[in-house]
């Protein structure tokens, strides 16, 4: 599926409009641009439709896993798709504010 691409990164990989979401159950803890240190960060944007899609997918995944990550990307046509579901314990936090991410995780666990 062709993705909205801004250019190539320093490592030669295409820098797409891709976003990483951390969840604890159905609670979204944090989301941020996927490509850490990208030269294209100022071009990246996310829509309310993408946020809603992530939350709908999270509601399904949360039935099976408590702590997880979703990666969503924008296609060339402007639609948003799921790229990956993975174990949040192994996921690079990308451009996430770590104080926000882990602060929200602490609050979610205590709730």
Q: What is the CATH number of the domain that holds 100?
A: 3.30.470.20
Structure confidence by residue, pLDDT tens digits, 72-104: 999 999 999 999 999 988 888 989 999 999 999
Domains contained in the chain, number: 1
Note the pLDDT of residue 89.
83
Which residue's entry shows tokens 């969840």?
A: 23
Structure confidence by residue, pLDDT tens digits, 29-60: 999 999 999 999 999 999 999 999 999 999 99
Backbone angles phi, psi at 90, to 5 degrees: -105, 5
pLDDT(62) > 90 = yes
CA distance 63 to 32: 24
Give the domain extent around 102.
Answer: 5-110
Question: Helical H runs in 1-111?
Answer: 48-61, 98-110
Q: How far is CA 101 from the centre of its chain?
A: 12
Note the pLDDT of residue 100.
96
pLDDT(111) > 90 = no
pLDDT(110) > 90 = yes
**Residues contacting 48, CB < 8 A, separation 6+:** none
Note the pLDDT of residue 94.
87
């Amino acid at each position: 599926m062709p993705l909205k691409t801004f250019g190539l990164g320093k490592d030669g990989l295409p820098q797409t409009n891709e976003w990483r979401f951390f969840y604890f159950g159905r609670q979204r803890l944090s989301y941020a641009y996927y490509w850490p240190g990208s030269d294209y960060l100022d071009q990246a944007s996310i829509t309310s439709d993408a946020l809603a899609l992530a939350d709908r997918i999270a509601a399904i995944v949360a039935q099976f896993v408590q702590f997880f990550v979703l990666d969503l990307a924008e296609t060339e046509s402007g639609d948003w798709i799921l790229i990956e579901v993975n174990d949040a314990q192994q996921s690079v936090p990308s451009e996430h504010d770590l104080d926000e991410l882990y602060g929200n995780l602490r609050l979610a666990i205590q709730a």
